[in-house]
Amino acid sequence: MRILIKNAQIVDKGNDLIAGEFWLEDDIIYAIGQNFEKQTITFDKVYDVKNAVVIPGLIDVHVHFRKPGFEYKETMQTGSLAAAHGGFTQVCAMPNANPTPDNPEQMQKILAKIKQDAVVKVHQYAPITKNRESETDLVNFSALKKAGAWNFSNDGSGIQTADTMYRAMVEAAKVDKAIVAHAEDNSLLNGGVMHAGKRAKKLKIPEILSVVESSQVARDLILAQSAGCHYHVCHISTKETVQLIREAKKAKVCVTCEVTPHHLLLTDEDIKTDNAVWKMNPPLPSRADQEALIEGLLDGTIDMIATDHAPHAKAEKNTDFVNGAFGIVGLEQAFSLMYTQFVEKGIFTLEKLISLMSTNPAKIFKMTGGNLQIGKPADIAVMNLDHEYVIDAKDFKSKGHNTPFLGWKVKGDTMLTLVDGKLAWSKSLLTISSEMNF
């Protein structure tokens, strides 16, 4: 199919925009230029985006699609449509499913379901240990790689034993895969559910010390250096972790990391009541931690933004901290929140935001996409940067509505998402129903 995207704007340098058109041929970007229609070329479909901005499809290396076993929270269909709604063309699904994909057979079942139901590219993690629970039994890294595992993570649980983590890193290095770690030392956790600080004490909510995260990151950095493994740290949240990773990079340790929009935009000071909508793991940080996270983004210590999209049923969040589930949905709001709160305010540029949410993840994890280049896959998002809207659960495509960002005014609305040139999302529901196949 030959497609034209016309009346588009393209990010040139920083926040500068230039006019342009995209000629898509089947699943690739065939040409970028202007006035293709005047060249007597016949297009099967023309998208007039009316001066909206065309960017490379966003990439999220950390989502939870709850498939299989927890479909009441999310499905591959609803999760991937939420991703497309947010401008994401590639996402990486964590393995905390039931059953978990800890063997080739189960991995292939999940990949088959992805192929059947997903409207964006979904890469599936395998766990590090059997059933994502064992502290001794590693999965078969080689067999799972052959079966299609993207990388390896026990997200939701930290690896408590140094020997287990070291052996996992050695095996991951052998198959050229990353260990993607949820850093959490259970021996320091003591039932905590909220960042240790004045607000937790005031609300009488059990506290999580910053060292729960940073102490395990410190251990793992030493292990990764010895094992020669790519070590990626999920959702970092403390100033100590930022500094540890900064120093490790200087020492040439192969470490990368991500931060979430909610850790960049919210702190424990925003929590006014004992309400689990604010319950996240790691917890919302202190103001000092948040400032360190932003500094880490600006100086390159933090490589990318990932949402940790974690949908839950209403009853699981409509309760107090101790009894509520950890997590927040994020795919549908991430770009708008980051654009409004950081680019619009001049903290960093649109070009930087695209790097953090697309280019860097693609480069670091050796993925296709992350740029708008001729001959590359036509993974494209079109954003209306001028349109202001209010985040409203009724607009969500995800089953989960658990987010404290409801009611926030933002800019950067997704107008169109194409995956390999095929329509995954459009503001026109009529267009979606005619072109999407579930």
Catalytic residue from among 60, 308, 413, 420: 308
In sequence order, the β-bridge partners of residue 59 are 90
Known catalytic membership, residue 420: no
Question: Would you say 411 and 386 are in contact if contact means Cβ atoms under 8 Å apart?
Answer: yes
Strands ordered across the beta sheet of 179-181 = 179-181, 231-233, 255-259, 304-305
Question: Would you say 420 and 378 are in contact if contact means Cβ atoms under 8 Å apart?
Answer: yes
Helices marked H in 64-103 — which ranges? 76-85
Question: Would you say 47 and 54 are in contact if contact means Cβ atoms under 8 Å apart?
Answer: no
Structure tokens at 187: 């021996």
Q: What are phi and psi of 119, to 5 degrees?
A: -100, -5
Q: How far does CA 57 lie from the centroid of its chain?
A: 12
Question: Would you say 209 and 285 are in contact if contact means Cβ atoms under 8 Å apart?
Answer: no
How far, in Å, CA of 160 to CA of 186, rounded?
A: 7
Question: Would you say 85 and 414 are in contact if contact means Cβ atoms under 8 Å apart?
Answer: yes
Q: Helix, strand, or coil here: 135?
A: coil
Residues labelled as active-site residues: 308
